[in-house]
Structure 1
Amino acid sequence: MSAFFDSLSPNTTGTAYAAPLPDYTVISASGADALSFLHGQLTQDVTGLAPDVARLGGYCTAKGRLLATLVLWRAQAVGEASENSDSPQLYALVRRDLTEALVKRLSMFVLRAKAKLAPVPLHVSGVWAEPADMAKLEAAAGGALPAAPWQRTELPSGTWIAAPSVSGGLRWWWITSEAQQADATALATQVQRGNSDQWHAADLAAGLPWIGTATQDLFIPQTLNLDLIGGVSFTKGCYPGQEIVARSHYRGTVKRRTAYGQWDAMIEPPAPGTDIYDAKQPDEPCGRIVDASRSGALFEIALASLDDGDLRVGTPDGAKITVTPLPYDLADGGFKR
């Protein structure tokens, strides 16, 4: 843990928190062809990314199965850096456990393109607060913070990306260099120390489906709701798996979606990939865990079972799942808000 987080107290009063997120890392894409290369590899419209936003995207196999989910944003142009073919053009936030394999696989397809992918030594942290804390956080961070989900700003204190939230509070991915985090002394006086489990639970409640090594090659983008939260462009052109993803979209054949559920009596979260059963039809699983915390989970499931099933974790008589609506609508008969 860095000196910044060592300086924070978990016991001070207030509603603003910061926590390191060691399960995530940042990849950079540099080179003159970096944007066009990744545009042809990912589900997101990479070349169309505005400079003040971040977007969710996916990387699929040729069969349309997700190998990674990523938060993508354009690199900040400094002076003539945008004209330098060796400077970063794009950054991607990904799960640390699949970073090495992801970089290796994407690099296999670079061929003659002027593009290079590599992990970069940036710190990934989560900051969350109540709206009343915004003014003091902005003063400490060195400028206006983004308030709407997926908006992004570059400040002297680092890159700030507003993350989705369901609580009415504010959340940011805070991406920093070593020097930026060391210089964030003003911010350290305004936040208390949280933990990554709190951030993880908030991601799940917001319906953010992070792919890790345990869930690679299991889901198409629609079953993880990427099309409902802006993670898939259906107008950008080809990418691996695009034909299958587009066919499911235009033919309306998505029969499985990802939902969010909670339980009362589970101490340890189930592992990603754990089966979900409907106790009313116990012979075979009807879904599986995408990701879980102690308080709840995202799980992929047949929509028919989601409507009126008695859902259980691991076995037909396992812990009961109470389905809670996500902050966005599920298509084809799912929950509406």
Structure 2
Amino acid sequence: MNFADTTVASDQPVLVPLIDQALLKVEGPDAEKFLQGQLSCDLKQVSSANSLLGSNCTPKGNVISAFRLIRPTDEQILLRMPKAIREPALANLGKYIVFSKAELTDASDSYTGLGLQGAGAEALIKKTFGEAPDTINAQLVTDDLVIVRVPGLSERFELWVPGAKAASVWEQLIAESQAGGTDLWKLAEIQAGLVQLDLDSVEVYLPQMLNLQALEGISFSKGCYTGQEVVARLQHRGKLKKYLMRGWVDSTLPPTAGMNLHSPNRRNVGKILSFAPATKADSDIPGYEVQAVISKSAAEGNLLHLDTQEGPQVELLPLPYNIDPELFER
């Protein structure tokens, strides 16, 4: 990992191969019905024109996988998630789909994922494909290619390209953009407050601990799904103790996923989920932005330390969305 990966010119959008992401495919006449009973989000809002975030939980409400749902056709739904959690996601959904008129497969090798972000990204999408999704989560399907506009501090798009067309699409886009490493995309995901689960985080957190309710990743009106009772109880009784936060740490050594955070008075008040090299805002000081689930009470003092109670201090940064305070107070 290297800080050069996050240093690019600002006058062109950046094109990033999404090599750390996987795609699961659910296909068949019962694809929507099956997923509606398994996932936290409302599948009726997922269409060829609209993508959505969601999660798959255990009966106790613990998140096995968190993902973006993409719908190329009526009977085909893709779940885009980190490769690190692909196997448990496949295993859990596979236990239940045998009773449905739908099939679950790993479609990662059928598509190439590209991320395009930065000033001029929307203009380049329009120039290349004739139009671009114009609102967050809007989706465009054109010529078997799927384009999704995703949240971020700048213009950001995910493109999922059938393998045979990937080289051609890359050449078209890179002619008017610059190549970037996956750390650039990870950094933008952290800044957007979009959870990036790793294998050690499977079945550890409830969806609200990952802020999915703030990102339309939980429906409280669609009816039953696996884990729904626990998730709804937390939402309405307001006993959330920890949630996903964003921070920056001045450290020459990279954090690691799973690394603990500590306060002066308490150990293990948070855990790192993801990180990426980043200079501190309004300065040229190198460090790392981190994404972590942190105890609300420990975070209020903003005196958090990485790895040990004497480790580098983690400075909390604002999220681009609000967390309903009643989640903590009801």
- Which residue is 1:45 aligned to? 42
Other structure's SS at 1:308 match: coil
Normalized per residue, which structure has more helix?
A: 2
Unaligned runs of 5+ in 2: 1-6, 278-287
Are positions 1:163 and 2:160 aligned together? no
> Which of 100, 104, 117 is the matching residue for 1:117?
104
Q: Are the counterparts in 2 of residues 147 and 170 from structure 1 also a CA contact under 8 Å?
A: no
Unaligned runs of 5+ in 1: 1-9, 77-81, 83-87
Runs of 4+ in 1 over 6 A off after TM superposition: 10-13
Structure 1 position 103, deviation (Å): 1.6
Other structure's SS at 2:190 match: helix
Other structure's SS at 1:249 match: helix
Q: Are the counterparts in 2 of residues 257 and 330 from structure 1 also a CA contact under 8 Å?
A: no
Structure 1 position 11, deviation (Å): 8.4
CA distance in 2, matches of 1:33, 1:137: 33
Q: Are the counterparts in 2 of residues 226 and 232 from structure 1 also a CA contact under 8 Å?
A: yes
Q: How does 1:59-78 map to 2 (within 5 A)?
A: 59-76=56-73
Question: Residue type matched to 2:307 in 1?
Answer: G
- Which residue is 2:3 aligned to? none
Q: Are the counterparts in 1 of residues 72 and 141 from structure 2 also a CA contact under 8 Å?
A: no
> Which of 274, 279, 296 is the matching residue for 1:291?
274
Question: Residue type matched to 1:134 in 2?
Answer: E
- Which residue is 1:93 aligned to? 80
Are positions 1:237 and 2:216 aligned together? no
Structure 1 position 332, deviation (Å): 2.4
- Which residue is 2:188 aligned to? 202
Are positions 1:307 and 2:300 aligned together? yes
Structure 1 position 51, deviation (Å): 2.9
- Which residue is 2:33 aligned to? 36
- Which residue is 2:55 aligned to? 58
- Which residue is 2:280 aligned to? none
TM-score scaled to structure 1, two decimals? Answer: 0.86
Q: Report how many aligned residue pairs link the two structures.
A: 308
- Which residue is 2:166 aligned to? 181
Other structure's SS at 1:109 match: helix
Question: Residue type matched to 1:139 in 2?
Answer: K
Identity %: 25
TM-score scaled to structure 2, two decimals? Answer: 0.87
- Aligned CA distance change for structure 1 residues 11 and 38 (closer, same or farther; 3 Å): closer
**Which of 301-310 and 200-209 deviates more?**
301-310
Question: Residue type matched to 1:265 in 2?
Answer: S
Are positions 1:138 and 2:141 aligned together? no
Other structure's SS at 2:219 match: coil
